[in-house]
């Protein structure tokens, strides 16, 4: 009996000694596979985080994408266009006459509107992508118009030929006004304060711009500090440069304000 128990113990010990290395090997394989998956997941997270950081830096310093929601800038920009805006101006360069600019509502220019919700997860994702510049801004907080007057300019309309005058010089805006659209359907006479802009939509017959916002909170002028940047190109539905219209104002004296 004692001998039999001894033989059983020996068999068990031998069996354990045979199985243990195999089990340990399988555990090592599983652990190695788990570590590999974890390393791969961490790598993906780091790549995504780096891409978002680069996108955020590019948006903050260089360019940003916006959507066009209305027809006030036809035919230069139409509803549904996606535009690239250079953020270099006004931080590192002057905003000039003829530039097409995107700017924050200076106060009372836009009617309040409800932003549709798609649920907390999708809304958070949208805010993240807009914050990094990977999704166009189109939430109703921004406007896009063309600069016609800068600080110190005296802008009037219209002269005997129907043109806008800037500092006494008539400007022919036909390069960007839609065919048959007049420079303005009503008269105005303003002097642009220093540090602000006088802006008009290219589609003057359907543009709520500096001509009509004298009674708004911010008045008819846009503070240069409210400018996000200048429009340089359309990227959707086609890729093309957006001309700045500088040649229209080539004969106007340099601004004094």
Determine the 3-state secondary structure of 182 from DSSP: coil
Vertex 69 angle, CA 64 and 71, to 5°: 120
- Is 184 a residue of the active site? no
Residue of 70, 117, 126, 145 marked catalytic: 145
Which DSSP category does 228 fall into? E
Q: What sign does the CA torsion over 133, 105, 182, 250 have?
A: negative
Note if the bond before 50 is cis, omega within 30 degrees.
no
Contacts of 110 (CB under 8 A, 6+ apart): 140, 141, 143
DSSP 45-77: HHHHHHHHHHHHHHHHHTEEEEE--SSTTTTTS
Residue of 15, 17, 70, 72 marked catalytic: 72
Answer yes or no: are the C-beta atoms of 192 and 150 closer than 8 Å.
yes
3-state secondary structure 106-134: CCCCCCCCCCCCCCHHHHHHHHHHHHCCC
- Is 234 a residue of the active site? no
User: What is the Cα gyration radius of the chain?
Assistant: 32
Catalytic (active-site) positions: 72, 145
């Amino acid at each position: 009996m004692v001998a039999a128990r001894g033989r059983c113990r020996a068999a068990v010990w031998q069996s354990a000694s045979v199985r243990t290395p195999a089990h340990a090997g399988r555990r090592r394989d599983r652990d190695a596979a788990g570590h590999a998956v974890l390393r791969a997941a961490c790598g993906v997270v780091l790549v995504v985080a780096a891409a978002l950081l680069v996108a955020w830096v590019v948006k903050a310093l260089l360019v940003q994408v916006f959507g066009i929601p209305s027809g006030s800038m036809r035919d230069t920009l139409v509803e549904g266009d996606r535009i690239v805006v250079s953020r270099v101006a006004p931080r590192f360069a002057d905003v000039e006459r003829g530039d097409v600019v995107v700017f924050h509502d200076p106060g009372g220019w836009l009617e309040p509107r409800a932003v549709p919700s798609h649920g907390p997860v999708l809304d958070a994702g949208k805010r993240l992508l807009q914050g990094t510049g990977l999704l166009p801004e189109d939430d109703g907080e921004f406007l896009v118009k063309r600069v016609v007057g800068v600080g110190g300019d005296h802008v009037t309309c219209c002269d005997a030929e129907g043109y806008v005058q800037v500092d006494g010089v008539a400007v022919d805006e036909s390069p960007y006004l839609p065919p048959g659209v007049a420079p303005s359907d009503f008269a105005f006479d303003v002097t642009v304060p220093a540090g602000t802009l006088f802006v008009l939509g290219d589609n003057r017959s359907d543009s709520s711009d500096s001509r009509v916002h004298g009674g708004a909170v911010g008045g008819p002028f846009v503070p240069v500090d409210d400018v996000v940047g200048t429009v340089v190109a359309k990227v959707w539905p086609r890729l093309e440069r957006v001309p700045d219209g500088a040649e229209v104002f080539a004969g106007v004296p340099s601004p004094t304000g």
